[in-house]
Chains A and B, each alone.
Chain A
Amino acid sequence: MEPLTWTGSIAFLNPLLMIAIAALLVSIVIWIVGSIVLPEAPMSVNLDGTLSSGSGMRGLTQKALRYSFAACVALAVAYIVLGIVLGTSAGIIGAISQQFLPVWLSLIILYAMSIAFKRRLGLYGKLFDSPIGMIGFGLVMFWVFTGVFGALDLIVTHDPLSQVSGMKNKVPGTPLPSPEEGEYTWYLLGGDNLARDVFSRMVRGAWIVVQIAPLATLFAFMVGITLGLPAGYYGGRLDTFLSFLANLILAFPVILLFYLLVTPEIVATGVPNYMAAVLFVFPILFIGVLLNSRYYTRPNFRTPLLIGVLGVAIWFYLSLISTGGYIINTDSYRIWGLPTYLDLFDIPGGILVVFVSVVFVNSPTVFRIVRGLALDIKTRDYVAAAQTRGEGPWYIMLWEILPNARGPLIVDFCLRIGYTTILLGTLGFFGLGLPPESPDWGSTINEGRKLLSIYLHPALPPALALLSLVLGLNLLADGLREESLKD
């Protein structure tokens, strides 16, 4: 088999893309300089009293920018579409876009549906009014779909852990020396130092992030909200104590904390299991108090509801924290947990400790945000009205204050998923927690950086993947902030 070039038979697009990108850069510079140097467009008063402004030179620079940007996007789409049609004969780009076909289809369906029904979708629908938000959401959903389909074995070309002899550090597009029947013939993004496929590892790495980051952020929010609301609402000693604890954790440099918590020795002592047992209680508390404060006036409805919901939640909680029939299982002593036949899922110690420490690092910041919001909102009139009505404190916190704090919290949630992704990468970069052969982006960057001066291809794909996902989350948060401020 021939080695693949980057663009193959669609190489005729390359000079066009170069021209388009050059035009885009030039028009951006002219646009910026023009906004400072050129005079503003002249305004003229019409007969009916309205104002109209001519397009002027500034309008021209804007038009140039818009067209060159459109040209770049059109060319990028052309690469992808031609790649999907032509496959490997369109080089590495073509082969990769063909591999990503399920992702493209899902993105198109998602965007078509969302834009069609955007007026009925609340804040989510408004996101599609802001170009920044749309770009961010697109980047995020690209990696979410990649993670999900990658886990379903749709996108990956090779097993991310298996090594193929003769493929060590090979450049992108190298064919396998002796491909078996039905095996993908090329390493699309080359081989790493242990002769594994860089492309498949990058795709599988997305699944690890998509699994852990949103869930860990959600747990951090549960902990932060459950503690931050009473701290802000009651104030006093409780607030002083909880704030001191939060500041204590925040004063730790994150990396020192990781080095202390995420080591095999600490896993052996069972400390992460204790922390998991404590931290994972908060979601149950949150749900229980949330439902009870709302429905306690209707005991006939409340009691079965609470029994049902809390029963399932506690079952999940126990399955989460117990592994192989034990909650704590160290050499010196053990604590019995859920029996194995009731245990829904086991989480390996490495993943659990990563999850727990990420939640632990994130929750004090969430606590401070929620506390600040609660301090602000508790002085509002509707809170006073609820107090006069005789509502309990938890009802006011969870059903009056929390819904009114949702705007900043949703924005921070997006930003924090990005920050959690960065933290997961940091853990991988220092080789902490996850097993060394794991395909997560941080570990892959760490492995690739050792030979970076000679071979670029093992380190760059995961680095760019992480960058684009976090960038997408930041843009999404920006778009959400803009749209929620418009209300």
Chain B
Amino acid sequence: MSEAIKWSNDLRNTRKTGTIMGLFILRRFGVMLLTALCLTFVVFFLTNLYPNLEKLAKTQGNQRMSDEQVEAWLGNRGYLQPTLIKYGQWLGVAPGFSKTLDDGTFVGTCTRPGLTEDTTPRFCGILQGDWGYSTVFKDEVGTIVAKRLGNTGYLMMWVLILMVPSALLVGVLAGMREGSALDRSLSTFSIVTTATPEYVSGVIFIAVFTSSTVGLKWFKGTATQAMDNPTFENFFLPVLTIALYGMGYIARMTRASMTEVMTAQYIRTARLKGVSFPNIVMKHALRNALIAPFTVIMLQFPWLLNGVVIVETLFNYKGFGWALVQAAGNNDIQLLLAISVVSVFVVLITQLISDIGYVYLNPRIRIS
């Protein structure tokens, strides 16, 4: 955030609004690319450690392969090249590995079912738009990620629709009169929600609302059907579980921001002028109080991503998080890399939006 403020100060000094902001975004994109490169290399390195490759060979080939067989299997498929070369192949700056086995089958990093030796492209990295081939799902990584992201995107949309307005409402109501009865009860509520991780609240919700022991049976305990046919009954619990954990934090930040604004000089002036309390809150305080929560909501995305993984596992909803668990559990290298690229970009882009949004929303920085 401080970086954004520094840049916006430059912006104020030079008054070349467009170019400076453009430079800022460009620089941030540069850092973002560097971060993504470093992170994917770390993931690449860890997934390509020999015990992991051995596990991959055994799950793909045969559980009872001998050590020599494992090594031959890995060598034939190009897994035993130096890590940097393999990373270059994944990026698409080094030509893909290919080999014709003794029995005549053609294998390599760029081969896909249906392609022959002649039609296989020489380069197949993300620069060519090829995200690789998933060894678990036996499909193109690009299509898998797109499909799973679609499912998760739908879940996240409802989470945000539920979480953001209610968190802001709770925070503003609690913060407008510090120390009041409403403040204390709403603050207690938000502390309790921040102390309840998804796997605890999810288990409690499933126990109370879906089990035959308690007998309420208001909702369904799994969201598997929600992928094709989302209804309130099978989709509300996962949404609520993610939203609750994130809500408490945003509400507390909103409350802090609101109490700070409510003690400001201009609010006191408005009160002394005789403006009614609802008017003060709605017209004077609210807009300033919502600047800080905006950045908090944006920075909340990485945590939501964690919640998504837990909730999708708990409710068996086959989205992005579920794919992450499957890919990591089976050492599906290319799927895991694609997933980490996507999640890293989600994190970094939300950080960028929060920085830029802060500059534009805050009149003290924008108008000078």
Contact = CB atoms under 8 A, between A and B. Distances in A.
B213 A454 contact: yes
A453 interface: yes
A475 B310 CA distance: 25
Contacts of B185: 28, 31-32
Contact of A255 (B38, B191, B203, B309): B309
Contacts, number: 147
A69 to B, nearest CB: 12
Contact of A265 (B49, B191, B200, B314): B49
A271 B45 CA distance: 11
B101 interface: no
A426 B49 contact: no
Contacts of A430: 313, 325
A449 B206 contact: yes
A278 to B, nearest CB: 15
Interface stretch (A88-96, A400-408, A456-464): A456-464
A286 interface: no
B309 A261 contact: no
A28 B73 CA distance: 68
B324 interface: yes
B200 A252 contact: no
Contacts of A28: 185
B310 A452 contact: no
A308 to B, nearest CB: 39
Interface string B78-114: 0000000000000000000000000000000000000
Interface string A8-46: 000000000000000000001001101110000000000
A421 B360 CA distance: 38
Nearest to B38: A248
B329 A259 contact: yes
Contacts of A256: 43, 324, 328, 336, 339-340, 343
B33 to A, nearest CB: 12
B328 A34 contact: no
A269 B45 CA distance: 12
B351 to A, nearest CB: 8
B24 interface: no
B213 A455 contact: yes
A478 interface: yes
Contact of B49 (A271, A456, A466): A271
B348 A251 contact: yes
Interface in B177-195: 177, 180-182, 185, 191-192, 194-195
A268 interface: yes
Contact of B306 (A253, A261, A464): A253
Interface in A405-447: 418, 422, 425-426, 429-430, 442, 445-446
Nearest to A136: B191
Interface stretch (B50-58, B118-126, B142-150, B258-266): B50-58
Given A259-B328, A425-B197, A268 B51 contact: yes
B46 interface: yes
B197 A449 contact: no
Given A254-B306, A430-B313, A455-B213, A467 B200 contact: yes
A475 B46 CA distance: 39
A259 B309 CA distance: 12
A455 B204 CA distance: 12
A248 B182 contact: no
Contacts of A464: 200, 204
B66 interface: no
Given A35-B180, A36-B182, A463-B204, A260 B310 contact: no
A254 B324 CA distance: 12
A453 B325 CA distance: 23
17 contacts: A244-B31, A248-B39, A251-B344, A253-B340, A253-B347, A255-B321, A256-B324, A265-B51, A271-B46, A271-B49, A422-B197, A426-B306, A426-B310, A442-B199, A449-B203, A463-B204, A471-B196
Interface of A: 28, 31-32, 34-36, 244, 247-248, 250-256, 259-261, 263, 265-266, 268-269, 271, 418, 422, 425-426, 429-430, 442, 445-446, 448-449, 452-456, 459-460, 463-464, 466-467, 470-471, 473-475, 478
Pairs of residues from A and B, 7 with the lowest C-beta to C-beta distance, nearest first: A259-B328, A35-B181, A265-B51, A471-B195, A470-B195, A422-B197, A463-B200
Interface of B: 31, 35, 38-39, 43, 46-47, 49-52, 54-55, 177, 180-182, 185, 191-192, 194-197, 199-200, 203-204, 206-207, 210-214, 221, 302, 305-306, 309-310, 313-314, 321, 324-325, 328-329, 331, 336, 339-340, 343-344, 347-348
Given A265-B54, A449-B203, 14 more contacts: A32-B181, A252-B39, A259-B324, A259-B329, A266-B49, A425-B199, A453-B211, A454-B211, A456-B207, A456-B214, A464-B204, A471-B195, A474-B194, A478-B191
